[in-house]
Amino acid sequence: MVTTEQDARPDVASNADDYALRVEGLKVYYGTPRGLVKAVDDVSFNLRPGERFALVGESGSGKSTLAMAIMRLTREPGHIAGGHIYLGDRDLVEMEEKEIRSIRLSEMALVPQGAMNSLNPVMRVGDQIIDGIMDHVPPGEGTPNRTQLNTRIHDLLVRVGLDPTVSRLHPHELSGGMKQRVAMAIAISLNPHIIVADEPTSALDVVVQRQIMQTLGRLQEGLDAAVLLVGHDMGLVAQFADTIGVMYAGKLVEVGSVPDVFKDPKHPYTKLLIQSLPSFDISRQFVGIPGMQPALLNLPPGCAFNPRCPSVHERCFREVPEYLNLDVGRGVACHLFDEEAAN
């Protein structure tokens, strides 16, 4: 797949500076005793400032691996095997660990999956926020003093919808939703312009989930930051995101604006994913997607979706479909659209 080059995406080359983040041909592989697992295989996408981009896929599709790679938090036995992650004109893949540390939190922040496990249980909330600020404050800004820090914590907690007195509490004294809000306060503490949110509400109830997502949306608009939301809940994506990328077995199989993808899904997998959603329409029978995702160690030849695809044809068993650009910001990797894209 070489469609990631400039010729396939004319909008990339002409105004590269317009993007907050550009991911080009990114590969993240895990070396295992039984072979190389291509968890993220040649994925490209762009993120505009202020855009809300959602990555969806089943568990094991590589969406979290991709989010972690963008934060340069890939752990052994995983490694970035190729591609580029451009933040402005700097390539994160090439950077030293020291440089990355200065970018984390101040330019790119992560709202982790399951905030309940990401906070330090023996540290007060306020101290944890200070910890992040002191560790990542940009060298030019100078270290803030205690009074400045206290005003900052007060301000951050209010912005995420918590009472300022929460700063004196320990994590076990907070509910799941409150812990997730603390994690968001840490994430926005240095005004980043990219927020990576990895399933930020996966263990929360619907009402709390809605409150958290709406708070995240409000914070993002305040900072004019781009959000990369990783999740599997298509309902949440429809509510929150502007654009969506569907991942399957390590590849991005469809990209488009949320209204376009929901109204006119192109890839057969996206179609099935939308059909499998339960809704309040009782007349509609909801159906699962037949079969299961193939093991990444042992992918079928050709398109990885071919064992489950209802529109499978002979070509799908031979060739891996290339990512085809159908329109600006709209694309699909499926042989059904080969001709349409050629015209």
Binding site residues, other proteins, CB under 8 A: 58-59, 161, 176-177, 205-211, 213-215, 218, 232-240, 258-259, 262, 272-274, 276-280, 282, 286-289, 292
Q: Other CB atoms closer than 10 Å to residue 164's CB: what's the count? A: 14
Per DSSP (E only), the strands in 174-328 are 194-198, 226-231, 243-248, 251-257, 324-327
End-to-end CA distance of the chain: 19
The residue (of 106 and 215) whose beta carbon lies closer to other proteins is 215
How far apart are CB 108 and other proteins at their closest, in Å? 26
How far apart are CB 218 and other proteins at their closest, in Å? 8
For residue 178, give both structure tokens: 């409150």
The residue (of 91 and 233) whose beta carbon lies closer to other proteins is 233
The residue (of 138 and 290) whose beta carbon lies closer to other proteins is 290
How far apart are CB 81 and other proteins at their closest, in Å? 26
Residue 50 CB contacts under 8 Å (≥ 6 apart), including other chains: 220, 221, 224, 225, 226
For residue 49, give both structure tokens: 């400032």
How far apart are CB 100 and other proteins at their closest, in Å? 32
The residue (of 9 and 181) whose beta carbon lies closer to other proteins is 181
Residue spans of alpha helices (H) in 72-205: 97-103, 125-136, 146-159, 176-187
How far apart are CB 302 and other proteins at their closest, in Å? 21
Residue 40 CB contacts under 8 Å (≥ 6 apart), including other chains: 26, 27, 28, 62, 65, 66, 69, 250
The residue (of 50 and 161) whose beta carbon lies closer to other proteins is 161
Q: Other CB atoms closer than 10 Å to residue 138's CB: what's the count? A: 12
Residue 2 CB contacts under 8 Å (≥ 6 apart), including other chains: 8, 322
How far apart are CB 244 and other proteins at their closest, in Å? 10
How far apart are CB 240 and other proteins at their closest, in Å? 8
The residues with which 86 forms a beta bridge, in sequence order, are: 22, 91
Q: What distance lies between CA 116 and its chain's CA centroid? A: 19
Q: Other CB atoms closer than 10 Å to residue 55's CB: what's the count? A: 27
Helix axes 146-159, 176-187, angle to 10 degrees: 130
The residue (of 58 and 91) whose beta carbon lies closer to other proteins is 58
The residue (of 232 and 315) whose beta carbon lies closer to other proteins is 232
The residue (of 34 and 98) whose beta carbon lies closer to other proteins is 34
How far apart are CB 278 and other proteins at their closest, in Å? 4
Q: What distance lies between CA 254 and its chain's CA centroid? A: 15
